Amino acid sequence: MTFPVVGMVGGGQLARMTHEAGIPLGIRFKLLSDTPQDSAAQVVNEVVVGDYRDLDTLRAFARGCDVITFDHEHVPTEHLRALEADGIPVRPGPDALVHAQDKGVMRARLDAIGVPCPRHRIVADPADVAAFAAEGDGFPVVLKTVRGGYDGKGVWVVDSVEEAEAPFRAGVPVLAEEKVDFVRELAANVVRSPHGQAVAYPVVESQQVDGVCDTVIAPAPDLDESLALHAEEMALRIAKELDVVGHLAVELFQTRDGRVLVNELAMRPHNSGHWTMDGAVTSQFANHVRAVLDLPLGDPRPRAPWTVMVNVLGGDYPDMYSAYLHCMARDPQLKIHMYGKDVKPGRKVGHVNTYGDHLDDVLERARHAAGYLRGTITE
Amino acid sequence: MTFPVVGMVGGGQLARMTHEAGIPLGIRFKLLSDTPQDSAAQVVNEVVVGDYRDLDTLRAFARGCDVITFDHEHVPTEHLRALEADGIPVRPGPDALVHAQDKGVMRARLDAIGVPCPRHRIVADPADVAAFAAEGDGFPVVLKTVRGGYDGKGVWVVDSVEEAEAPFRAGVPVLAEEKVDFVRELAANVVRSPHGQAVAYPVVESQQVDGVCDTVIAPAPDLDESLALHAEEMALRIAKELDVVGHLAVELFQTRDGRVLVNELAMRPHNSGHWTMDGAVTSQFANHVRAVLDLPLGDPRPRAPWTVMVNVLGGDYPDMYSAYLHCMARDPQLKIHMYGKDVKPGRKVGHVNTYGDHLDDVLERARHAAGYLRGTITE
């Protein structure tokens, strides 16, 4: 058999769902996981438990893999270069991935290729933040550590020079950004292969609660067609210019004055693309696998007029399984995706997808199910 | 966590695809597999390698499982009773499963509940076959070993008393059946849960080549609506009367005079239901898992006007992966499902699904892809 071996670094839910999507292709899937209990490690046959920050561990894992890809963006760049030097394809490669790891590098590069971003600058200390504020419309200002943040962590919205002290305490570089006056958040998701083929999923609306993605609506309702096309083209251009391989999520602000600005980049399957599992001809996970194997990409178009994804966060009830009875009986079309994680308050432990012809109905069904699973709805 | 553990006996492709469908539910999936290389064993985390014919092995496997279900129908009835005596739910249970294991028992039961079957009778020797033939329209007559046959194995079509000797050589009971004058084969697939809920998939047309399923068209084209409903009701009634839990495939002959007769029963996910993976709201595998866990069943309705499944059999080219480039580039909507099996001529190693609005197009795409993967089309 000549079927390839895909090695995935990281045992989270993205790896779990990538494995699920890879099974039909008949490929072998190897996992490097922090623990044997990680979300993906529960469902994959070939699991290596080890620390991705240790080069020897990574190298031993990569031996026998035809390609290495990622559940997260935390593998040190120098390790990725070492794997490449060993002759292992790393997709996305370190030169692309750094833009998803370092917000300073990302902003500089997007500026250079003319992609619109919020006003921004690396700042040295609270006084510099005050200067940055004064250069624009004043406070509030958004401060971000250039590395390591996600789901609202490593991000501060500060209203004064005093409040600007906290981000500097860790001693890591800090990026200041204008607080964008946005009407909503969008995401443009694309997948690109090494030989340069790329596909764009419809632009979606992403609703955050407390800095964490809560609801995704595909396609984004009432989005001007030219703006949607502009966002898709922008994401495709970023993927090409940065030589991304695999899935690229471009998180966007839609501003009150009708522009789109890039908020964040993620170079892996992304929460804003989970709707594709049940709502698109080819899911983001299936296309990510195809891309890292340099196979032709699958059709990214939607299968229904509307698809809605709502995240299931951990709540006060640890027993989500008992909620299945109600949720499945109420909605036989409901798609539940649980990650095998212990329930902790606020932790993403799963998501639900619904699809159909009428957005109101599709949205209500997804929200009800997610709320019932979490325990905030008990009807 | 209170998520249950499903134990599946048998490591074939049905187990592989059941695992794939179970991942989103967050359940644990344990496999009892003949070898570590079996189709499902390659993709499941918790694999026990052992012989399902050995009761101690089965018992040890079942310990810690919340329910036991099957990739095949070969587990001895007395072993299943022993597991039940140990307090492990076995789904489908031994009293149901025997009807899929023993064609003599199946025919007697279907007669008793008034379900139409081909004329049939257990025969003792070749002379008895001649008598059976004389009672009807004469030869040819179909002879089947009552246990152990599948995919045309254990089945003979005999034209004379001399040809009727072979089936008796094994010394096992033989069932004689009239050779039905059928216009095509159909399959009515239903899923039933322990609390009695049942769903019916649309009746499909199943085309065989050399006794092996080749193409399935969902729904069966030009099928009279009342006959379709009659077939669905018949399958639901069989499921209820036989107390089936899980997926039940009822293979049917559509006769020239407009009746449907039951050919075979299978109590597990079935080749005639593979189209549901991409063509139905809820796949047969997802509904089988729900059923054995006594969860509410998912919507069985189709997502597209037409879905076609074509099996990929092993041919002369062992390297199917290299055919992906052509197949995926030619048809970005193509769904490939490969089982991780070594290619041997005539062996089922995968299937493809296509769906869309126009049957001709959907059929052509599936046949082209399957032929190209097999190596019989090289355009």
What pLDDT does residue A201 have? 98
Chain B residue closest to A356 (CA)? B303
Q: Flag whether B179 is marked binding.
A: yes
Q: Are A223 and A206 in contact (CB under 8 A)?
A: no
**Shortest CA gap B157–chain A (Å):** 36
CATH of A182-374, one of 3.20.20.80, 3.40.50.300, 3.40.710.10, 3.30.470.20: 3.30.470.20
Closest residue in A to B197 (Cα–Cα): A329
- A311 marked among binding-site residues: no
- Residue contacts between A and B (CB atoms, under 8 Å): 130
The CATH label, of 3.40.50.20, 3.40.50.2300, 3.40.50.300, 1.10.287.130, for the domain at A5-90 is 3.40.50.20
Report the percentage of chain A scoring pLDDT > 90.
93
Using the beta-carbon criterion (under 8 Å), do A299 and B26 form an inter-chain contact? no
The reply to whether residue B28 touches residue A42, judged by beta carbons under 8 angstroms, is yes
CATH level 2 (architecture), domain A119-178: 2-Layer Sandwich (3.30)
Q: Please report, as a single letter, which amino acid is at residue A39.
A: S
- For residue B28, the chain A residues in CB contact (below 8 A) are 42, 340
Nearest CA-CA distance, residue A286 and chain B, Å: 10
| pLDDT for B2 beyond 80 | yes
Residue owning tokens 């359940």:
B27
Structure tokens at B178: 């009239």
Q: What is the pLDDT of residue B82?
A: 98
| Yes or no, beta carbons of A43 and B41 under 8 Å apart | no
Whether residues B2 and A319 touch (CB distance < 8 A) is answered with: yes
Q: So what's the pLDDT on residue B151?
A: 62
Gap between the Cα atoms of B290 and B296, Å rounded = 7
Closest A-chain CA to B318:
A1
Confidence band for B147, pLDDT divided at 50, 70 and 90: confident
Residue of higher predicted confidence among A275 and B1: A275
Note the pLDDT of residue A152: 65
Give residue-wise pLDDT tens across range B33-75: 999 999 999 999 999 999 999 999 999 999 999 999 999 999 9
Residues B79 and B54: their CA atoms lie apart, in Å, by: 8
Q: What is the pLDDT of residues B20-31, one digit of tens each?
A: 999 999 999 999
The pLDDT confidence band at residue B154, using thresholds 50, 70 and 90, is: confident
Whether B299 and A332 lie within 8 Å, measured CB to CB: yes
Q: What is the pLDDT of residues A283-294, one digit of tens each?
A: 999 999 999 999
The residues with which A297 forms a beta bridge, in sequence order, are none
Q: Specify the pLDDT at position B152.
A: 64
Q: How far is it, in rounded angstroms, from Cα A9 to Cα A268?
A: 11
A78 known member of a binding site? no
Is B178 annotated to bind a ligand? Reply is yes
The type of residue at B125 is D
Give residue A284's pLDDT.
98
CB contact under 8 A, B41 and A45: yes
Cross-strand bridge partners of residue A206: A185, A216
CA distance B85 to chain A (A): 26
In this complex, which of B24, B296, B340 lies closest to A337 when CB atoms are compared? B24
Nearest to A325 among B16, B296, B303 (CB): B296
pLDDT value for A210: 87
Question: What are B65-93's pLDDT values in tens digits?
Answer: 999 999 999 999 999 999 999 999 999 99
Interchain pair A24, B20: CB under 8 A: yes
**Residue A125: what pLDDT?**
96
Q: Do domains B119-178 and B182-374 have the same CATH topology?
A: no
Answer yes or no: is the ipTM higher than 0.85.
yes
Rounded Cα distance, B61 and A264, in Å: 47
pLDDT tens digits, A134-181: 999 999 999 999 987 666 678 999 999 999 999 998 888 999 999 999
Q: Using an 8 Å CB-CB cutoff, list chain B residues near A372.
A: none
Looking at residue B172, its pLDDT comes to 85
**Cα–Cα dist B55/B37, whole Å:** 22
Report yes or no: A350 and A24 within 8 Å, Cβ to Cβ: no
How do residues A182-216 score in pLDDT, each as one tens digit? 999 999 999 999 999 999 999 999 999 988 999 99
Q: Of the candidates B19, B26, B281, which has its C-beta nearest A350's C-beta?
A: B26
Q: Which residues of A touch B339 (CB under 8 A)?
A: 26
The secondary structure of residue A160, as a DSSP letter, is S
B89-126 exposure pattern, b = at least 16 Cβ within 10 A, e = fewer:
bbbbbbebbbbbbbbbebbebbeeeebebbebbebeeb
Cα B66 to Cα A138: distance, rounded to the nearest angstrom: 61
Q: Can you tell me which residue has the tokens 């006084």?
A: A127
Q: Are strands A46-49 and A28-33 parallel, antiparallel or unpaired?
A: parallel
- Alpha carbons B176 and B142: distance in angstroms, whole number: 6
Q: Is A298 in Cβ contact with B324 (below 8 Å)?
A: no
Domain extents in chain B? 5-90, 119-178, 182-374
d(CA A255, CA A219) in angstroms, rounded, equals 18
List, for chain A, all residue ranges whose pLDDT scores fall below the cut of 50.
1
Paired tokens of A170: 């860790």
- Considering only CB atoms, A2 lies closest to which of B2, B282, B322, namely B322
**pLDDT score, position B195:** 95
**Tens of pLDDT, residues B318-334:** 889 999 999 999 999 99
Give the up-direction half-sphere exposure of residue B245: CA atoms within 13 A in the CB hemisphere.
Answer: 23
Q: Indicate if the alpha-carbon torsion angle B169, B170, B171, B174 is positive or negative.
A: negative
Please answer yes or no on whether A26 and B339 come within 8 Å at the CB atom.
yes
Pick from A154-168, B221-235, B357-371: least confident: A154-168
Query: What is the CB-side half-sphere exposure of residue B41 using CA atoms within 13 A?
Result: 15
- Which tokens sit at A311? 């995240």
Nearest by CB: A3 against B26, B47, B321: B321
Whether the CB-CB separation of A206 and A195 falls below 8 Å is answered with no
Chain B CA closest to residue A274:
B24
Residue among B16, B295, B343 minimizing CB distance to A23: B16
For all residues of chain B together, what is the average pLDDT? 96
- Binned at pLDDT 50, 70 and 90, residue B150 comes out as low
Confidence of residue B378 (pLDDT cuts 50, 70, 90): confident
Name the minimum distance, in Å, from the CA of B277 to any CA of chain A.
10
The pLDDT value recorded for residue B149 is 66
d(CA A266, CA B62): 43
Band of the pLDDT at B284, cuts 50, 70, 90? Answer: very high
| Residue B264 assigned to a binding site | yes
